[in-house]
Amino acid sequence: MWRVTWSGPDRGNPRRPWKLLCAAALTLTLLPAQAAGQDVGDVPITTGDPEADDIIILIEQMVEDASVAKSRLRSDHLDLEVLLEQIGDDPAGITRWVAEETRWLPYRGALRGASGVLMDRTGNSLDRALLLAELLALTGADVRLAGAQLPPELASAMAESSLAMTGGPTVVEPDFGDADEVAAYRSSVESAAAVLADAVGLLDRAPDPASAEVPTGSASDHWWVQASVDGSWVDLDPQLVSMGVGLPAPERTFTPDELPDDLRHTATIRVVIERAVDDELVEEAPLQHTVLLGRDDPLVELDLSFDVAVSPEDTERAAATRDVGEAAELSAYWRPRLERADEVVRGEWFSAAGILEGPSASAAADALSRGVSALGGLGAAADDGGAADSRLTAVWIEYETDGPDLEPRVERRELIDVLDGARTNGRSVDPSPSDDEARGPLGLAFLGETSILVQAASTHPDAFTAAFLDSVISMRSSLIAQVFLKVGVDDERIAPSLASGGIRPFDLLAMTSARDRWSPTAHAFLASPNVWTRRFFYAQGPDGPQPGAAIDVAINDVAIAPTAAGDMRLIRLEQGILDTFIEHVLAPTDDGYNTWERFDQRTAEGTEWMALLPGSTVPDELRTALPAADVSRVQAAIDDGDAVVVAVDARSYLGKPFADWWRIGADGKALGVGYRGWGQELKEEADVTQQISLRSLQPLLDADRSLMWRRIITEQRRMLVDHFAKLPFADTQPMIKALEAVRFFLF
């Protein structure tokens, strides 16, 4: 056991302009984006108020500017056709471009796909072959993929040649901050890594010799493209051909559209519920959805929320409620729903008893509660007949990533856990609190919403810019409707437009982009999917339900190329610290709710940190000082073979105490952990509006355009305007000025 005391380097505050970049976006709800130019229903284009009409003209011009900017973006990092216009349609020239302008990386399976390699210019032989095949197909060529296992000697020679030729993998460097800022960021991360590595003895053991070896295994799994020419298949390979080596006979062929699932990386999202029955804990998964990577977008955006229903006897009372706490107490049935673009995946209904309901009960509940909000009209569900001997005790979101030759990586994030630390801290399992005690906190857990970004490639800044422009375009209807309401035009056709439009998770995109720009090494790369999330939630505070928001890095695995100088464990540790640091810089708080903030700032005030090594037991000192749930999490990490560095005293967020700690693997993988075991940045309560899913407000807005909901939606749009004003793109300045004028008029 080690005592750790550290004061971060005195850097002044170079990060201030960037600390604000993504702060307001934490209060936004991800909705499906509507098409550019969508009409505001049948609302007239004039309000009768000259000043308001001028603002509407300004909004229309802003949206037009955004649409023009989007059409002019034409990025060769996002659009295959744009790239093809630049390099021509000669097959040899296209193959040469892939060979010279993209870099080989050592991993197996389809991860980035054609779009991912196009965006970050890196990939293994399969992903690069997918890009080459897509480009050739756009020229009209008939193509297929071919693969074979290379002999060890040839695979080793190819890997050494590829890494030597490229100098190792490179990363995209988006424009976030100036050189001095980035240097300060890297210095902070490196200083913290040195302290944490020393505390847990990370470098005391000799490194694994295999970590420095050329990755022959991934190189042996080789893929290339074959094009049909005059009835014969002609080989096109951006790697072996450049070495002057002949290709082996293909052992497997298929078209890009036939890419087998066993070759693809995956990211699975589950909702896992737990119920207590006779002192036993039983888990089930009412929702599971797997994202197959390697063929579509390498940045997959999803949105997880819950449909809510009440017991039949509470229907009348629920229909009239406008109170968050009452809505939580009345809710008794929940169904997870996951949205991806136009696709909606609905899970199974489950009850406060923790029981999955049958099809008939789900159908009845669906008919009565479709699309409703937890406020302003809860639906009724069929009675499941009661389950007095069973009670819902916990709900988690589970993220699992997997791929060829990889061990599955699984991370859970708590939504609600009424047993707290009972599972591993010697406390008895008591599944029988009263309904009044349990239903309210349970219901609050399902009024929130989680935006999920699955990342399979480095985020190019053009992707971030596109998300910004999409959001400007999609908010047209809502802003115009608010102008009408501002001048007192209360038309029933206006209300539906308030909740129209969509806001993409460009705060998460900004973080993934900054991660590459600020990385302390150019040799870190994605060899498996990463998962970033943003969560809006309610918690039971001292004065009733209170809203909160958090950025949570769920899975942040990176690989390090063998060409990297230095110990790979320390490089991984720096990358993991950087991920927590990015949350702090792009979504800061004044009270240091982020683990990095506390480690960086509070140690100077004497906050003590304790290092716990694998095989140890959480000491009594921490068991007394920290919440039982956090003691459980820390002990579980230690039992899994990881080291932990934890602050010796707890602090509180929304009335709930929590511990700050770093989890550090033997290979250097690390992440800062905090509230509810999330690797996150928390936002102050005062910064968060009522975050009920706007999509579910549509029936409420149709039926009752209450002042409360106008205020909520208006506040969300105001914060969006505030956020846009801080984006660092010169070509968006006219739009930003227009948004400022709109904000001044409306707010």
Residue 71's CB: how many other CB atoms inside 10 A?
A: 10
Residue 5 is predicted with a pLDDT of: 41
Top-confidence residue, 43 or 680? 680
What average pLDDT does range 89-99 have in this prediction?
94
- Residue 543, amino acid: D
- Residue 156, helix vs strand vs coil: helix
Residue 546 is predicted with a pLDDT of: 75
Confidence of residue 177 (pLDDT cuts 50, 70, 90): low
Query: Percent of the chain beyond pLDDT 70?
Result: 70
Top-confidence residue, 156 or 90? 90
Give the pair of three-digit tokens for residue 340. 């991806």
**How far is residue 187's CA from residue 190's CA, in Å, rounded to a whole number?**
5
Residue 65 is predicted with a pLDDT of: 84
Give the pair of three-digit tokens for residue 694. 């706007």
Residue 116 is predicted with a pLDDT of: 96
Confidence of residue 308 (pLDDT cuts 50, 70, 90): confident
Residue 153 is predicted with a pLDDT of: 86
pLDDT in tens, 505-532: 767 887 888 787 777 777 788 999 999 9
Residue 488 is predicted with a pLDDT of: 77
Q: Which residues contact 723 (CB under 8 A, 6 or more apart)?
A: 22, 23, 24, 25, 28
Given a cut of 60, whether residue 413 has pLDDT beyond it is yes
Beta-bridge mates of residue 301: 453
**How far is residue 530's CA from residue 280's CA, in Å, rounded to a whole number?**
34
Q: Which of 192-206, 245-259, 314-328, 509-523 has the lowest mean pLDDT?
A: 314-328
CATH of 80-178+214-263, one of 1.10.3470, 3.90.320, 3.10.620, 3.30.450: 3.10.620
Residue 718 is predicted with a pLDDT of: 52
Give the pair of three-digit tokens for residue 160. 């050494």
**How far is residue 556's CA from residue 562's CA, in Å, rounded to a whole number?**
19
Q: Which of 357-366, 368-377, 571-580, 707-716 has the lowest mean pLDDT?
A: 368-377
Given a cut of 80, whether residue 565 has pLDDT beyond it is no
- Render the burial of 514-542: b for 16+ CB within 10 Å, e for the rest: bbbbbbbbbbbbbbbbbbbbbbbbbbbbe
Residue 465 is predicted with a pLDDT of: 79
Given a cut of 50, whether residue 727 has pLDDT beyond it is no
Confidence of residue 498 (pLDDT cuts 50, 70, 90): low
Given a cut of 50, whether residue 591 has pLDDT beyond it is yes
pLDDT in tens, 597-619: 778 765 555 668 899 999 999 99
Chain-centre distance for alpha carbon 655: 26
Within the chain, all domains assigned CATH 3.10.620 are found at 80-178+214-263
Highest average pLDDT, of 208-222, 379-393, 448-462, comes from 448-462
| Contact predicate 721/742, CB 8 Å | yes
Give the pair of three-digit tokens for residue 422. 């009972």
Which letter does DSSP use for residue 110 in this model?
A: B
Give the residue from 21, 26, 224 showing the smallest Cα distance to 125.
224
Give the residue from 107, 220, 238, 236 showing the smallest Cα distance to 154.
220
Given a cut of 50, whether residue 229 has pLDDT beyond it is yes
Residue 702's CB: how many other CB atoms inside 10 A?
A: 11
Residue 143 is predicted with a pLDDT of: 97
Give the pair of three-digit tokens for residue 662. 């770093």
